[in-house]
């Protein structure tokens, strides 16, 4: 194995391990903060605003990340963000002033936005083209595992005292060991991109639509699915299990999706995932009380929807490099923040207006828009391929 191949493998292992630790820490901190505020008698409106800060952070931080990496370098940005995140989480455990908590949560979100977006760009830069689908799929599955473990740790550690915050800080600090494992071979993202964040949204509508779709899915479906189950007569335990099964689909199906995408048209594969996502959404009201069909549907539905984001990252790495790749990732970060803010609010209102099926109906509309955008992009690519073949 060549030195380049060894360094590439080290970077991939380090990125995936670091992002798993980051997602675990974030998913431990978010519900922990909410529980702490609830125990202190803080109103649900304040808790809701606090919960929206991670999405707001992505929205605010993402546009500045390309310039920061260009000015300071990727390594310095990663270490500064990691240090800021660790100190802010420790701060949550030391001080209990509400205004200070708002500031700390915002700082954690800003630091996490930098860590996630730079890591995704880095992964795409070092991934081999022929294995890009599988590499990104492992990354998404590992990150989802981290997000799934966080709430479990809340149950194990409890919400009393400062210790859970210190555990969260310790978990994310392990990302530093994984960064060291790369031996300082951080990605070179210097230079100027040929397009801006907003221009990218016009250039790559399919990638942008996938980011909005999955952010909406994470924010609305995973949040409100247990509520939807209860409103349809299921027990609270079964309703919560629905969200867990959905997450299981996210984890289990990403590698098969990435494997297929490495051997077929990635654009066609993302369209297939979108169609499966739409089918799952439309079938949910009919299958909600048919367990034999509901559980497998949830697995395929969750895996297919998140698969659109996996494939969007793959296409991004395939089409863009260097400074343009970090700009593309920053645009996706803005859209992710936007979708995460809009998703829960719109789906919640829809569920209240059209009870109980407003939530899946809202997501079906978003999914249908994604399918239409993707179909148009695939059709345009096929037309260009036919024209090129005729010229030859």
**pLDDT digits over 45-93, tens only?**
677 777 778 888 888 888 899 988 888 889 999 999 999 999 999 999 8
384 to 88, 203, 353, 381, 390: CA distances (angstroms): 51, 16, 45, 5, 10
Residue 372 pLDDT more than 90? yes
Which pLDDT tens digit goes with each residue over 215-237?
989 877 777 888 888 888 888 88
Tally of domains within the chain: 2
102 and 156 both lie in a single domain? yes
314 and 179 both lie in a single domain? no
134 and 220 both lie in a single domain? no
pTM, whole model, 2 decimals?
A: 0.92
Cβ contacts of residue 377 below 8 Å, gap of 6+?
205, 206, 267
Last residue in a domain, options 142, 170, 190: 190
Average pLDDT over residues 312-334: 91
Which pLDDT tens digit goes with each residue over 231-254?
888 888 888 888 889 989 999 999
pLDDT for the residue numbered 90: 94
195 and 147 both lie in a single domain? no
186 and 216 both lie in a single domain? no
Q: Are 171 and 49 in contact (CB under 8 A)?
A: no
User: What is the CATH number for 41?
Assistant: 1.20.1250.20
252 and 326 both lie in a single domain? yes
216 and 186 both lie in a single domain? no
171 and 220 both lie in a single domain? no
User: Is residue 149 classed exposed, middle or buried when 0-12, 13-18 and 19+ CB atoms within 10 A define those classes?
Assistant: middle
181 and 320 both lie in a single domain? no
| Cα–Cα distance measured from residue 361 to residue 157, given in angstroms and rounded to the nearest whole number | 37
222 and 308 both lie in a single domain? yes
* Nearest CA among 129, 154, 140, 132 for reference residue 28: 154
Main-chain dihedrals φ then ψ at residue 297, nearest 5 degrees:
-60, -40
Last residue in a domain, options 136, 161, 190: 190
| Cα–Cα distance measured from residue 196 to residue 272, given in angstroms and rounded to the nearest whole number | 29
pLDDT for the residue numbered 51: 75
Write out the residue range of the structural domain in which residue 172 sits: 1-190
Q: Which residues of 13-42 are buried (b: 16+ CB within 10 A; e: fewer)?
A: ebbbbbbbbbbbbbbbbbbbbbbbbeeeee
Residue 63 DSSP symbol: G
315 and 233 both lie in a single domain? yes
49 and 149 both lie in a single domain? yes
Last residue in a domain, options 129, 164, 190: 190
> Mean pLDDT for the chain?
88
For 389, the 3-state DSSP assignment is helix
Q: Greater confidence, 311 or 161?
A: 311
Average pLDDT over residues 174-181: 92
């Amino acid at each position: 194995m060549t030195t380049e191949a060894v360094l590439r493998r080290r970077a991939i292992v380090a990125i995936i391990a670091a992002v798993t630790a980051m997602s675990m820490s974030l998913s431990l901190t978010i519900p922990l903060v909410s529980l702490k505020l609830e125990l202190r008698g803080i109103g649900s409106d304040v808790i809701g605003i606090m919960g929206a800060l991670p999405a707001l952070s992505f929205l605010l931080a993402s546009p500045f990340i390309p310039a920061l990496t260009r000015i300071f370098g990727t390594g310095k940005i990663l270490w500064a963000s990691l240090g800021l995140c660790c100190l802010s989480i420790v701060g949550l455990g030391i001080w209990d002033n509400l205004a200070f908590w708002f500031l700390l949560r915002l700082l954690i979100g800003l630091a996490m936005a930098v860590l996630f977006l730079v890591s995704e760009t880095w992964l795409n830069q070092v991934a081999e083209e022929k294995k890009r689908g599988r590499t990104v799929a492992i990354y998404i599955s590992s990150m989802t595992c981290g997000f799934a473990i966080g709430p479990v740790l809340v149950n194990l550690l409890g919400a009393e005292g400062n210790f859970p915050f210190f555990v969260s800080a310790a978990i994310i600090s392990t990302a530093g060991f994984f960064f060291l494992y790369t031996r300082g071979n951080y990605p070179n993202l210097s230079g100027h991109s040929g397009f801006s964040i907003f221009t990218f949204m016009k250039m790559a509508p399919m990638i942008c639509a996938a980011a909005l779709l999955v952010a909406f899915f994470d924010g609305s479906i995973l949040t409100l699915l247990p509520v939807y189950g209860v409103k349809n007569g299921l027990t609270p335990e079964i309703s919560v299990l629905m969200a867990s099964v959905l997450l299981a689909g996210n984890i289990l199906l990403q590698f098969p999706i990435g494997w297929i995408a490495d051997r077929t048209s990635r654009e066609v594969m993302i369209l297939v995932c979108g169609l499966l996502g739409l089918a799952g959404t439309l079938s949910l009201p009919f299958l909600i009380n048919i367990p034999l069909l509901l559980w497998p549907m949830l697995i395929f539905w969750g895996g297919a929807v998140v698969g659109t984001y996996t494939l969007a990252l793959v296409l991004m790495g395939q089409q863009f490099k260097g400074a343009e790749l970090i700009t593309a990732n920053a645009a996706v970060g803005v859209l992710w923040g936007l979708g995460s803010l809009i998703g829960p609010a719109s789906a919640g209102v829809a569920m209240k207006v059209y009870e109980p099926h407003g939530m899946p109906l809202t997501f079906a509309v978003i999914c249908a828009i994604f399918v239409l955008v993707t179909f148009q992009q695939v059709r345009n690519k096929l037309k260009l391929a036919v024209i090129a073949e005729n010229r030859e």
